[in-house]
Amino acid sequence: MNAVLESSHDAHHHGPVNTGLKRWLFTTNHKDIGTLYLWFSFSMFLIGGVLALIIRTELFQPGLQFIEPEFFNQMTTNHGLIMVFGAIMPAFVGLANWMVPLMVGAPDMALPRMNNLSFWILPFAFTMIISTLFMPGGGPNFGWTFYAPLSTTYAPDSVTFFIFAVHIMGASSIMGSINIIATILNMRAPGMTLMKMPLFVWTWLITAYLLLAVMPVLAGVVTMMLFDIHFGTSFFNAAGGGDPVMFQHIFWFFGHPEVYIMILPAFGVVSQIIPTFARKRLFGYDSMVYATSSIAFLSFIVWAHHMFTVGMPLAGQLFFMYATMIIAVPTGVKVFNWVSTMWQGSMTFETPMLFSIAFVILFTIGGFSGLMLAITPADYQYHDTYFVVAHFHYVLVPGALFSIIAAVYYWLPKWCGRMYDESLGKIHFWLSFIGVNVTFFPQHFSGLAGMPRRVPDYAMQFADFNMISSVGAFLFGFSQVFFLYVIIKAIKSGQPASDRVWEGAHGLEWTIASPAPYHTFTEPPVFDDSEVHS
């Protein structure tokens, strides 16, 4: 059926141009655009990874070895911006482009030409951000959160290009979100009610609303920066009656929902994969939907927990502390449901499942360190130390990134019709799993001992943990080049995938996590075991 839809779709949209470069430039096919997003995000991931390895090379020993502090600051800024906006977010949008129409039974995305545009403006935005590194005065050097007045009064001239790039990237996110919402709400197959949608579709629907709500806030704050730099306003300049802390309020009102934008689709991916390899229906589907919605709602009322040290009144500190802790409840519901899905399932441990289990365990560690950071008096000690770095990397690397990798292994046979090499996939998993923990676990200890973030030199007492961390970073980084090899090998010479890729020993179709729309969910599924036993 998909092949028929795709061929008719191609004929309708492409006509004679469906060849070579033109196919990719002008494509309105959701599968092609999903592929473009995924390859683009992987290239950004490698670039951002190189910047991280420059940082870790400098931090391998105390003292200044390889790079100037100014360049170190540019590396930390660009690493953060490229990983968040260039690697994680476009990868999830790519997964949404590929899978959402297939999962809801739509022939394509609702707005195919806008889909094309929302991808093709991204390479220009990130070319601009990376090119700032080669401009006179250097690239942005103020951290990925670009706090004013560091990013306005004291910034290099290249900050204007950075602001423009942020605008373009935000426009891409807004267009992508509108497209996903329109597709899910208007183009579902008959009989597929909202509460019968696969969880990946649900998490993306909620994520798209979050993006629509916060991307204009980011656009607003960078526009205020632009006015402060070029037009003589004083939004963030205390000397002119402005307030630097206002910048933080506006930024984090965008920034906190943003971190959930990067993790909610990951929840959706893992909620598809775990039931497949546990060979059980997902435990607590309804509670997963409600938990996801609760997390999205709460994400808007906790932003100032990033700002406990700015001198806010006690009532404000208490409110943001308790609100932040409440988010642990729906998140805990999700973890409980994943574990319950695996409980007494007929589990097998293919590569996507390994990455998903690692996700559940390591993301939970990141959640616990987040709870520690939510405690206001404790946060006074942890703030701006490597403990915070360890916390958010445990959420974003084994969280967002591992789920993207799991999704690629899981859906690759569907995308290209070929199977990856399972033993190579497992090697990639173990290298990544060991690498990520060796890199980020010691940073908890460095931070608790008082090592500040974003500093290229440090006291001798932190030397051992930093050396371990840098070794882990290189292991993790090079294992992602190995991942690239596994993917290319699968696409070029992998075994042809069967119709039921993940059926294992139980004759259960691999798409069971995304039930067809006519299922009623009232009867337990019936599987025909005759072919298995024969």
Q: Could you list the active site residues?
A: 79, 108, 144, 172-173, 256, 258, 260, 271, 305-306, 331, 334, 453
Does residue 407 contact residue 269 with C-beta atoms inside 8 Å? yes
Distance CA 458, CA 468 (A): 15
Distance CA 239, CA 185 (A): 49
Handedness of CA 484, 134, 393, 298 (dihedral sign): negative
Q: 24: which 2 tokens?
A: 């990719």
Query: What are the DSSP calls for 408-467, one per residue?
Result: HHHHHHHHHSEE--HHHHHHHHHHHHHHHHHHHHHHHHHHHTTPBSS-S---GGGHHHHH
Amino acid at 19: T
Distance CA 204, CA 300 (A): 17
Please name the residue that has the structure tokens 């973030």.
453
Q: In sequence order, which residues have a C-beta less than 8 Å from that of residue 9 and are 6 or more positions away? A: 29, 107, 108
Distance CA 178, CA 74 (A): 33
Could you tell me the CA-to-CA distances from 15 to 18, 35, 101, 113 in Å, in that order? 7, 20, 22, 14
Characterize the bridge pairing of strands 418-419 and 495-496. Answer: antiparallel
